[in-house]
Chain A
Amino acid sequence: MTAPVSIENVSKTFGHFTALDKVSLDIRAGEFIVLLGPSGCGKTTLLSILGGFLSPSSGRVVIGDRDMTFVTPAKRPTTTMFQDYALFPHMRLVDNVGFGLRMRGLGKAERDEKALGFLDLVGLKASAGKRPHELSGGQRQRVALARALAVDPEVLLLDEPLGALDLKLRRQMQDELKAIQKRVGTTFVHVTHDQEEAMAIADRIVVMNQGRIEDFGPPSQIYMRPRSLFSAGFMGEVNFVPGRVKAANASSAEVETSLGSLALPAANFTAAVPKAGDVITLTIRPEHFRGEDKSDDPMFALGDARVAGSAFFGTHYRCHLQPCATDGDALVAHLPQSSDVRDGEIVPLAVRAADVVALPAASGTL
Chain B
Amino acid sequence: MLRRVFVSGVSWTYLALVYAFIFLPVAVLVLFSFQDGRLPVPPFNGFSMQWYEAVFADRKLMAALSNSMLVAISSSVVSCVLGFLAAYSLARYKLPGSALQRGLLIAPMTVSYLIIALGLLALLNALHMPLSLLTVGIGHVVINLPLCFAIIYASMGDHQINIERAARDLGASDFKVMALVTAPMLMPSILAAFFLSVTFSWDEFIIAFLLSRFDVTLPVEIWSMLRSGLNPKTNAIGSLVFLASVALLLILEFSLFGRTKKQ
Contacts and interface: CB of A to CB of B under 8 A. Distances in A.
B168 A84 contact: no
Given A84-B159, A90-B185, A103-B176, A74 B165 contact: no
Interface in B19-55: none
Contacts of A79: 169-170
A103 B167 CA distance: 9
Interface string A76-113: 00111011101111100000000110011000000000
A151 interface: yes
Interface in A35-76: 51-53, 72-74
A133 B171 CA distance: 24
A159 to B, nearest CB: 9
B171 A103 contact: yes
Contacts of B184: 90
Nearest to A51: B169
Contacts of A90: 184-185
B169 A87 contact: no
B163 interface: yes
Interface residues of A, number: 25
A147 interface: yes
Contacts of B159: 84
Interface residues of B, number: 18
Interface in A252-284: none
B209 to A, nearest CB: 42
Contacts of B163: 86-89
B63 interface: no
B85 interface: no
A151 to B, nearest CB: 6
Contacts of A87: 163, 166
A151 B171 contact: yes
A103 B170 contact: yes
Nearest to B172: A103
What DSSP secondary structure best describes chain B's contact surface? helix
A50 to B, nearest CB: 11
B166 A82 contact: yes
Contacts of A88: 163, 166-167, 181, 185
Contacts of B98: none
A52 B168 CA distance: 10
A104 B170 CA distance: 9
Interface in A126-149: 133, 147-148
Contacts of A82: 162, 165-166
A52 B169 CA distance: 8
A86 B165 contact: yes
Given A80-B165, A86-B166, A88-B167, A74 B172 contact: yes
Given A90-B184, A90-B185, A74 B162 contact: no
Nearest to B166: A86
Interface in B158-204: 159, 162-163, 165-173, 176, 180-181, 184-185
B170 A53 contact: no
Contacts of B167: 88, 99
Nearest to A75: B171
Interface of B: 159, 162-163, 165-173, 176, 180-181, 184-185, 263
- By Cβ-Cβ distance, the 4 closest A-B pairs, closest first, are A100-B170, A103-B171, A86-B162, A86-B166
27 contacts: A52-B169, A53-B165, A73-B165, A74-B168, A74-B169, A74-B170, A74-B171, A74-B172, A79-B169, A80-B165, A80-B166, A80-B169, A82-B166, A84-B159, A86-B163, A87-B163, A87-B166, A88-B181, A88-B185, A90-B185, A99-B172, A99-B180, A103-B170, A103-B171, A103-B172, A103-B176, A151-B170
Given A80-B169, A99-B170, 16 more contacts: A53-B165, A73-B168, A74-B168, A84-B159, A84-B162, A86-B163, A86-B166, A88-B185, A89-B163, A100-B170, A103-B170, A103-B172, A133-B263, A147-B166, A151-B170, A151-B171
